[in-house]
Structure 1
Amino acid sequence: MHVTFNVWMLLMFSLQHYVDSMTQCDNMKTIIRAEGVDVSLQLDKSGIKEVSWLMGGRHIATTKSMDTIDVKSQIFKGRLSQISSNSLKIKEITRMDEGLYVAHIFMKSGQEFVQCYNISIHRKLTKDNIFVLPNIYHNGSCAVSLTCKVNLTDVTVTWNRDDLAMTNDTLYLDNVEPSSNYSCTAINQVSNASIDVKPWNYCRTAKDVEGVTDIPTVYAQVKQDRRESFATIYSEVKKTNTFPRLIY
């Protein structure tokens, strides 16, 4: 039974992509939004009789004149409404809702048109999505490399100091000064977030560990779901005859 179900899901997935590839769109619009907002699929035609709305090849709703809507999909129950000119509004969109939407437009004149929308949904970034992995080395002074990580995908990372921006995710510093300050900024298509970083704090922590000449950072990223969530565990390992000391 389990194998049969998996085969059926694979067939449905393949059929959906086949239907999407065979759709002939008169016009394609790309919509990029943050997760959790309302999204409107606007139609710019007048004289519309009714519109059949499809998502992934499945009929999800029909909008008609007089502001009536017939929702066909249980997944969208309570989240679809009709707005002006038979346009469709999706309430509190999620990443599971992203994909190709197709509006089959039937005109009062008897003409038919196909309007397509490619919807891409991204999570809003916060400071909690950003963390720094340090490598600290002492050779008479403090040299440090700081790698800025983000636990979401499709993100660009930059290091910033005053008006200087560095697009590499790893910052290399020799002879770190106590007064130096940097910020790590993460940017995606719908938001950005930053954290402030003082490199000297890592040097000062490492100096508190007696007899350390070289402290590499050991870390692991654990993927929690198939989309974009990671947990990162890391520690600084003391190279002496004692057990490693964890730095939190």
Structure 2
Amino acid sequence: MYCFHWNKYKYLFSHFTYVINGTSDLCIKYIYSIFVLSDSVYSGPCGPLRNISGKEGETATLHVNATGGRYIVWVLVSGNSTNTFAETKPNSSINIRDYQYKGRVSSTNDGSLIFTHLTKKDQGIYKADVSKSDCSHFYSLRVYKSLVAEDIQMHHNRSESCNVILSCTVNERDVTISWSHTDRTGPTLHVYNVSDAGVYTCTAHNPISNASKSLTLTHICYNGD
């Protein structure tokens, strides 16, 4: 099997490798069976992959501009299979082909697709095939929990000299950590001098929310709990 190097489909190689099989070894027979099939069916993307972030329980819109009475076929790409689950058309009601989406997707006046009551099961790569067009739109939908303070696990570890290591972790993906009292980022913070006592606040960020939790350094040094 020869690895995938065609310039015509370079976009697919660079953007879909990590979501299809988690490796850079994406080869031509595999991508051909999923996306290409024939030039009459698929000839390339209309533009870059669109990254959409949504919040659990809320809505997300996959925007597409289809004018002139065109219709749009919506496809979920999952591994080496696809699921054509809906069809939209400007100024028309949505046609749902897969019953599990009934009551959960709708369309706008321009044919864009709206997800409601988002769950993490909605995550994935979506493709919009617009009639009378020689390209397709691709979307990466990621669904996130709205972070709260209870999601943050904050711990400390100190030596007899009161050098302290603070740790802040969140069991969710795509989370970054920042600290007050310093410009440092990351899940651990080293405090080497008791003169740096004070309230340290760890803030966890994901693409749709943030939450914070605090710890007082003097309490650690003098009471040990």
Name the TM-score, length of structure 1 as normaliser. 0.66
Q: Which structure has the larger Rg over C-alpha atoms?
A: 1
Once the two structures are TM-superposed, the CA of residue 30 in structure 1 deviates from its matched residue by: 2.1
Q: Say which of 28, 31, 34 aligns to 2:52.
A: 31
Listed as ranges, the gaps of 5+ residues in structure 2 are 1-19, 22-29, 37-41
Which position in structure 1 is the counterpart of 2:8?
none
| Runs ≥4 residues deviating over 3 A | 16-24
Which position in structure 2 is the counterpart of 1:134?
156
After TM superposition, the structure 1 stretch with the greater mean CA deviation from structure 2, 50-59 or 40-49, is: 40-49
Find the residue that maps to 1:86 and give its secondary structure.
Answer: coil
Q: Structure 1: how far apart are the matches of 2:128 and 2:185?
A: 40
Q: What is the aligned-residue identity percentage?
A: 27
Q: Structure 1: how far apart are the matches of 2:45 and 2:197?
A: 58
* CA RMSD between the two structures: 2.8
Once the two structures are TM-superposed, the CA of residue 60 in structure 1 deviates from its matched residue by: 0.6
Once the two structures are TM-superposed, the CA of residue 169 in structure 1 deviates from its matched residue by: 2.4
- How big is each residue's C-alpha offset from its partner over 1:155-189, in whole Å with a ceiling of 9 and x where there is no partner? 1112211xx32114222224425951211111122
Listed as ranges, the gaps of 5+ residues in structure 1 are 1-12, 207-246
Read off the aligned partner of 1:189 and give its amino acid letter.
P
Q: Structure 1: how far apart are the matches of 2:214 and 2:32?
A: 47
Matches within 5 A, 1:140-155: 142-155=162-175
- Residues 171 and 113 of structure 1: is their aligned pair in 2 closer, same or farther, counting only changes over 3 Å? closer
Name the TM-score, length of structure 2 as normaliser. 0.72
- How big is each residue's C-alpha offset from its partner over 1:71-127, in whole Å with a ceiling of 9 and x where there is no partner? 1112211111121122211112222111111111114xxx55422222122222211
Q: Structure 2: how far apart are the matches of 1:185 and 1:29?
A: 27
Q: Say which of 200, 214, 221 aligns to 1:196.
A: 214
Once the two structures are TM-superposed, the CA of residue 201 in structure 1 deviates from its matched residue by: 1.8
- How big is each residue's C-alpha offset from its partner over 1:11-57, in whole Å with a ceiling of 9 and x where there is no partner? xx98x987655463223322122222211122223113322111121
Query: Do 2:154 and 2:213's aligned partners in 1 also have CA atoms closer than 8 Å?
Result: no
Q: Structure 2: how far apart are the matches of 1:190 and 1:94?
A: 14
Read off the aligned partner of 2:139 and give its amino acid letter.
Y
